[in-house]
Amino acid sequence: MFVILVYDFGEKRVGKALKIARKYLHWVQNSVLEGEISNANYTKLKMELRSIMNSEEDSVIFYTFRTKNYSKREEFGLKKGGDENIL
């Protein structure tokens, strides 16, 4: 499946969240990652993020698609992240 991850973590946890997410997905820009991921790794990613998050302060949003063929992305302004993430 293709996943877009958007997160907002407190200052003390944001670095840990990015480190965890980059094990599974490609960094696009601040607090946004995307990529193909297996169901097993998707479950692991969610569990790892939940283990460090404070549910009263932090938030995570996943957008899931069957494949990246069913998604479209447009960019405006300063490009961040790597070129390998272009759909």
* Cβ density class 37-50: b for 16+ within 10 Å, e for less: beeebbeebeebbe
SS3 category, 19: helix
- Residue with the bigger pLDDT between 65 and 81: it is 65
Return the pLDDT at 25: 97
Domain ranges of the chain: 2-69
Mean pLDDT, residues 27-49 taken together: 96
Mean pLDDT, residues 80-87 taken together: 55
User: Residue positions in the annotated binding site?
Assistant: 8
- Asked if the model's pLDDT at residue 63 lies above 90, the reply is yes
Topology adopted by domain 2-69: Alpha-Beta Plaits (3.30.70)
Return the pLDDT at 86: 43
Residue 2 to residue 62: CA distance in whole angstroms: 10
For 4-17, write each residue's pLDDT tens digit.
999 999 999 999 99
User: Residue positions in the annotated binding site for Mg(2+)?
Assistant: 8
